[in-house]
């Protein structure tokens, strides 16, 4: 059997080749956490953080890794994944934690976790499976690099808080000696302001520096709060250097953190960043079916289907629609039929106009031009992709506050001039092509009216 140095060298070569075909974020999320264990009879055994992580690799990346390995070992080369079994990670953590001084008075420590927001209550489909997999890997092995800093972003109401809380719940259950604290950025800001005024900021900072797992929701709320940012950076840096677990959520990606300290943005951008997408039709159906089952109210499949198709840009919207229907049924003594459903949906749409975000624009443009949204981020210059990409640039610049640079970054373009060119191309074509201009106007109506 080859020695450890040979195995590490082999994996290093495979990793180097993979980095030429996979983007930086995929490498950081899915390749960097892997550790080579052994090589025997042309079978390379690889350690991965969790069973869910293993399942994702088996489904999406096994072939690429095998091909790379065969370049160096031969056509008979194969791979096996190994992950920590239940209890193994907890035992390792317990041995380490036993050496740590637990000086904080238990009366001053509250985790702020909601017991109902767990992994088993998180409804899963293709649109959120990757995020759920990474979150579960973090919860299984807290503090394990590179997942010891996880950044989850996505529009409002797609499950960021649920995943963040689920991580905390699981760690508390499996690693009871670890101190876990969940806090929203608003509560964090209020605590900082109060403590800075009453006792000085030192006690506030020291409190959070004693955490083993820090979960901060809606971190974008600290944008523009200079004093709080500085305190947070002290806490963040302390925990990060000690290898503690940090999970942050945000409505926007790090590239849009205008008003956040540059050193903070740099730290966050070096983390594992994962996006929670808006609920797809499969997830909307599952959510509706679950809510209906919990309520005990009978709802026909055709009603579930029309709500799933026409509503549900976020989970809260679906939840509100179902609750309203149930209230009409239980208190208004009305049968939940198609007429009532359309009435409730119409009211909900009026009250809750869709937020115009770059993600929303990409979704509508991709649907209109019948392309995979992922192609918008790629390098292909095929006309059937290049035009929708330029339309996304044009619409995003017109209907959001994103800068040219921010749009370029999020579309994987090298610099902002590409976006400027794309916007000009669409504007110029609209001025000379009435049919094209009409199609853009139609798309704009869909974007602004939902």
Backbone angles phi, psi at 163, to 5 degrees: -65, -40
Backbone angles phi, psi at 22, to 5 degrees: -105, 150
- Whether residues 324 and 347 fall in one domain: yes
- Whether residues 202 and 242 fall in one domain: yes
Backbone angles phi, psi at 275, to 5 degrees: -105, 135
Q: Burial of 229 by CB count in 10 Å (0-12 exposed, 13-18 middle, 19+ buried)? A: buried
Q: What is the pLDDT of residue 189?
A: 87
- Whether residues 435 and 301 fall in one domain: no
Distance CA 425, CA 413 (A): 16
- Whether residues 116 and 256 fall in one domain: yes
Pairing mode, if any, of strands 213-217 and 78-82? Answer: unpaired
Domain count, the chain: 4
Using DSSP, state whether 146 is helix, strand or coil.
coil
116 DSSP 8-state letter: T
Tell me the CATH number at 285: 1.10.8.60
Structure tokens at 114: 């909601």
Tell me the CATH number at 185: 3.40.50.300
Residue with tokens 């690693």: 175
- Whether residues 256 and 192 fall in one domain: yes
- Whether residues 130 and 248 fall in one domain: yes
Residues 6+ apart with CB under 8 A from 258: 223
> Rounded to two decimals, what is the model's pTM?
0.59
Residue with tokens 């991709």: 366
Distance CA 327, CA 95 (A): 52
Short-list 171, 138, 169, 357, CA closest to 248: 138
Distance CA 289, CA 137 (A): 28
Distance CA 438, CA 292 (A): 42
Name the percent of the chain in helix, strand, coil, to the closest 5: 60, 10, 30
Q: What is the pLDDT of residue 58?
A: 86
Bridge partner list, 214: 181, 246
Pairing mode, if any, of strands 149-153 and 78-82? Answer: unpaired
Q: What is the mean pLDDT of each run of 10 residues along the chain (450 residues)?
A: 80 88 79 88 87 80 88 87 63 38 40 86 91 94 89 90 95 90 89 74 81 93 86 90 91 81 85 89 87 78 82 76 79 75 68 67 89 83 89 90 81 84 91 87 80
Domain boundary among 248, 275, 302: 275
What is the extent of the structural domain holding 376?
358-449
Q: What is the pLDDT of residue 107?
A: 36
Neighbours of 92 (CB within 10 A): 14
Using DSSP, state whether 177 is helix, strand or coil.
coil
Neighbours of 378 (CB within 10 A): 14
């Amino acid at each position: 059997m080859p020695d450890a140095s040979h195995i590490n060298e082999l994996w290093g070569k495979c990793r180097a080749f993979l980095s030429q075909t996979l983007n930086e974020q995929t490498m950081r999320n899915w390749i960097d956490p892997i550790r080579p264990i052994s090589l025997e009879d042309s079978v390379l055994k690889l350690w991965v953080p969790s069973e869910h992580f293993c399942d994702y690799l088996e489904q999406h990346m096994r072939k690429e890794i095998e091909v790379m390995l065969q370049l160096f070992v031969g056509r008979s080369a194969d791979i096996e994944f190994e992950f920590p079994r239940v209890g193994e990670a907890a035992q390792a953590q317990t041995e380490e934690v036993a050496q740590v001084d637990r000086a904080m008075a238990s009366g001053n420590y509250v985790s702020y976790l909601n017991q109902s927001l767990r992994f088993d209550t998180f409804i899963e489909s293709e649109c959120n499976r990757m995020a759920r997999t990474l979150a579960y890997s973090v919860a299984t092995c807290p503090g394990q690099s590179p997942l010891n800093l996880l950044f989850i972003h996505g529009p409002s109401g797609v499950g960021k808080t649920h995943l963040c809380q689920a991580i905390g719940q699981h760690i508390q259950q499996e690693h009871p000696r670890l101190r876990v604290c969940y806090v929203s950025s608003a509560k964090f800001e209020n605590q900082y302001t109060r403590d800075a005024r009453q006792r000085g900021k030192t006690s506030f900072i020291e409190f959070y520096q004693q955490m083993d797992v820090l979960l901060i929701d809606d971190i974008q709320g600290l944008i523009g709060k200079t004093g709080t940012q500085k305190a947070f950076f002290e806490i963040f840096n302390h925990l990060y250097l000690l290898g503690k677990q940090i999970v942050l959520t945000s409505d926007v990606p790090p590239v849009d953190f205008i008003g956040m300290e540059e050193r903070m943005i740099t730290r966050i951008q070096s983390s594992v960043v994962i996006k929670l997408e808006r609920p797809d039709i499969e997830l909307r159906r599952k959510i509706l079916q679950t809510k209906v089952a919990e309520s005990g109210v009978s709802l026909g499949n055709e009603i579930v289907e029309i709500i799933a198709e026409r509503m549900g840009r976020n989970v809260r919207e679906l939840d509100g629609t179902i609750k309203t229907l149930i209230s009409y049924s239980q208190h208004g003594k009305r049968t939940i039929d198609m007429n009532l459903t359309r009435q409730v949906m119409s009211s909900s749409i009026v009250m809750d106009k869709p937020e115009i975000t770059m993600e929303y624009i990409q979704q509508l443009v991709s649907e209109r031009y019948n392309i995979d949204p992922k192609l918008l981020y790629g390098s292909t210059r095929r006309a059937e992709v290049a035009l929708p990409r330029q339309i996304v640039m044009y619409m995003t610049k017109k209907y959001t506050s994103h800068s040219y640079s921010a749009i370029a970054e999020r579309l994987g373009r090298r610099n902002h001039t590409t976006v400027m060119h794309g916007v000009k191309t669409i504007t110029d074509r609209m001025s000379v092509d009435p049919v094209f201009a009409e199609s853009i106007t139609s798309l704009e109506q869909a974007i602004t009216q939902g």
